Amino acid sequence: MSPNPFADPRVRSIETTDRAVAHEILHRVYRLQSLDAAVSDDFRFRRSVTGESRFAVGHLEYGGVVRTLSDPLPYFSIATVVAGRVTVSDGVEEVRGTTGQTVAFSSSRVKDTRWEHLELSQIMLDREAVEKELAVLGLTAPRGLHLTSMNPVSPAHQKHWRSVSGHLRQLVGNDAAMASQLVRSAAFHTVVAAFVEGFSTTAVGLDERSEGPLLPSTVRRAMTFMAEHAHDDIGVAEIAEAARLTPRGLQLAFRKHLDSTPMAELRKARLRGAHDELLASDPTLGHTVASIAANWGFAHAGRFSAIHLEAYGRSPRETLES
């Protein structure tokens, strides 16, 4: 079976109980570095793929337990668990998928994956075709389109993805529909829109290109959450949850895209909040620098004054009294 799911629009399938045959296919199709499989008497493997040059629909069954280490695929692979269990780690994030859950496999990192009597329904999207479609959606990915999280952004988005992928699965089984270029293009447009809306990627709006660094949606969500909750008692755990990342993944994302840390950016957000409150306050009504600083989490008024002076060029007292 060809490792390229888009090379042949016909249905291609294989079913075998021979582990050696199945594992050779897995090595080629999924770019495996290594494979470690448990021995069982009831082993069965089945894989089928059909589609066109931009998208393909697949189904995979592996009747056993196996752990693999694999290189990034040259296309996007989004899978919904039909039965069994899959655990995937890319060094930044770990995802555990059970029946009904959808996983978008990491597109830029080596994956450590464990399958347990797994049955998957797959959607595969050609990377180049998806990147070309972004402009139609008002999006761009100047440094290339990559996933920044393997999880859907929300349960609602996961539900929508399953609906769209189910429609695509029906489409590829309809010869009359697949014979129409217009129908296929409309379906591809819909599935790409569901993909970039439903999963965190490096895609950004075309009107965002000149507004500072291009940030992935996970980092943007974290920054928005901090701006909205800077006054609250939040830390890395809460920010990571809002960004839909693990705390370690959040730290790595901030280091990569902002050359900073989540707590450093939270302190900046709190400093901005304190500065704005100083501007809006009236010292004749009893408002003080110390009380405003404390409101925003700065317990040491002297240290707050030094930080404020460095950031805004004047002391908090001057700001309050202006």
The DSSP-derived string for 25-39 is HHHHHTTEEEEEE--
pLDDT of residue 3: 61
pLDDT of residue 257: 85
Instruction: Pick the last residue of a domain from 163, 180, 205.
Output: 205
User: Are 144 and 260 in a shared domain?
Assistant: no
pLDDT at 63 over 80: yes
User: Are 129 and 172 in a shared domain?
Assistant: yes
Region 251-269: what's the mean pLDDT? 90
pLDDT of residue 96: 92
pLDDT of residue 188: 95
User: Are 232 and 121 in a shared domain?
Assistant: no
User: Are 161 and 233 in a shared domain?
Assistant: no
User: Are 239 and 311 in a shared domain?
Assistant: yes
Pairing mode, if any, of strands 111-126 and 75-89?
A: antiparallel
Instruction: Pick the last residue of a domain from 170, 205, 240.
Output: 205
Region 250-254: what's the mean pLDDT? 89
pLDDT of residue 9: 55
Which one-letter DSSP state was computed for residue 94? E
pLDDT of residue 2: 52
**Could you write out the three-class secondary structure of 301-320?**
HHHHHHHHHHHHCCCHHHHH
Q: Residue 44 — very low, low, confident or very high, per pLDDT cuts 50/70/90?
A: very high
For the chain, the domain total comes to 2
Pairing mode, if any, of strands 75-89 and 94-97?
A: antiparallel
Q: Residue 75 — very low, low, confident or very high, per pLDDT cuts 50/70/90?
A: very high
Which CATH number do you get for residue 184?
Answer: 2.60.120.10
User: Are 21 and 170 in a shared domain?
Assistant: yes
pLDDT of residue 258: 86
pLDDT of residue 131: 92
pLDDT at 286 over 90: no
Share the mean pLDDT of the chain: 88
Which one-letter DSSP state was computed for residue 100? T
pLDDT of residue 279: 87
User: Structural domain of residue 260, as residue ranges?
Assistant: 217-321
Region 272-281: what's the mean pLDDT? 88
Region 135-158: what's the mean pLDDT? 86
1 belongs to a structural domain: no
Instruction: Pick the last residue of a domain from 144, 172, 205.
Output: 205
pLDDT at 10 over 70: no
pLDDT over 90 percentage in the chain? 49
Yes or no: say if 49 and 15 are a contact pair by the CB < 8 Å rule. Answer: no
Tens of pLDDT, residue by residue over 167-211, are: 999 999 999 999 999 899 999 999 999 999 899 888 877 654 444
pLDDT at 1 over 70: no
pLDDT at 17 over 60: yes
What dihedral angle (degrees, nearest 10) is formed by the CA atoms of 69, 71, 76, 79?
-10
pLDDT at 214 over 70: no
pLDDT of residue 87: 96
